[in-house]
Structure 1
Amino acid sequence: MNCHLRTYAPIAYSLVASAVFLDSLRFKFTNAPETQTIFGKLDAWASGFGAEGLFAQTGLFSQYVIGSAELVASSLLLASLVPALKRLRVLGALIAVAVLSGAVNFHLFTPLGIDPNNAGGGLFAMAVVVWLCSIAMLVAGRGVLIELGRAVARVLLPSRALSPGGPALTPARS
């Protein structure tokens, strides 16, 4: 049973999360009324503290930016179904956690609310399910995540800082 869960849960997660993200793209990329309502409410809220346009169509967190992140996440998750590329699932899950952490928090802690379009709250429910599953995938793939962190650190930090006897986080001198 446990073996089957370890084998099929990541596949099911990748398929479900990708389906949720890809389904939402038709709303975000076509500027559907539901999307206008959601991002309009968020932009009005942000305007209240001087960040007008943050969620507008050309804003930093516009429907197109969020939709693009969801497209990249779903692409990575679907690519991870190829056995040689299964490590991409962690990157897809990392992007999913980032996007959905924002979504869940904005639904809970802004005037957006859990059911902004009066459609029964299904959008929020799916966001929470995929968010929790994405966190579970990160926990399950923590070894790959740590490996990725080390690879990024090797690129961004000087080689001396990573050597066992070298000083920690000392900038390189030129």
Structure 2
Amino acid sequence: MDFIKKHIEWAPVIFMVIILSGSLPFKFTGHPQPTHIFNTVGEWLGLELFKTYGAIFIGVVELVASILLLIPKTRVYGAVVALGTMAGAIFFHLFTPLGVTVVWMENGVPQEDGVLFYTAVLVFICAIWLILRRRHELPIIGQTTSVQ
């Protein structure tokens, strides 16, 4: 039982790393789906820079989160980075023209996918769980104060 208690967080960590790092080849190679996503969000934000470099920037952030998650001493920081990134993804899916189900054109054929939103929600939940589990490791939040 102690073994399970000690190592239980590896399950959500591995899930998060698979999701975060699994999208990197698409973000870094200009695949039509992330291109559409970042063009839509960049257009909505009015930021040409985000349309051009948003996928690469977010990809680097997700790569950093993945690396931090894999190292037990930095895991809580990886969870914080993942939480912030997924909060942004969830926000943009819900409150911009992007939508929960992303629809884009690939080779002249319309494609649609709602998986990205739901995986973002699952990573968000896993990140919250990890942060709560390791909150004592966070500066300020994890500090205990004694009342005299």
> TM-score, normalised on structure 1?
0.71
Q: Which has the larger radius of gyration?
A: 1
Q: In the superposition, relative to structure 1, how do residues 30 and 9 fare at CA in structure 2: closer, same or farther (>3 Å)?
A: same
User: 1:5 Cα shift?
Assistant: 5.4
Identity of aligned residues (%): 37
- From 30, 45, 56, give the equivalent of 1:64: 56
User: 1:111 Cα shift?
Assistant: 1.0
User: 1:87 Cα shift?
Assistant: 2.3
Q: Distance in 2 between matches of 1:32 and 1:114?
A: 19
Residue segments in structure 1 that go unaligned for 5+ positions in a row: 81-85, 151-174
In the alignment, what sits opposite 1:134? Answer: 127
Q: In the superposition, relative to structure 1, how do residues 31 and 149 fare at CA in structure 2: closer, same or farther (>3 Å)?
A: farther
User: 1:43 Cα shift?
Assistant: 1.3
Higher-strand-fraction structure: 2
With a CA cutoff of 8 Å and minimum separation of 6, indicate the structure with the bigger relative contact order.
Answer: 2
Q: Distance in 1 between matches of 2:10 and 2:142?
A: 24
In the alignment, what sits opposite 1:7? Answer: 6
Q: Distance in 1 between matches of 2:41 and 2:29?
A: 18
Q: Distance in 1 between matches of 2:5 and 2:89?
A: 28
Runs of 4+ in 1 over 4 A off after TM superposition: 147-150
User: 1:9 Cα shift?
Assistant: 2.9
Contact 1:46–1:54 (CA under 8 A) maintained in structure 2: no
Aligned residues: 136
| 1:146 match: secondary structure | coil
Contact 2:43–2:51 (CA under 8 A) maintained in structure 1: no
Contact 1:22–1:71 (CA under 8 A) maintained in structure 2: yes
RMSD over aligned CA atoms reads 2.0
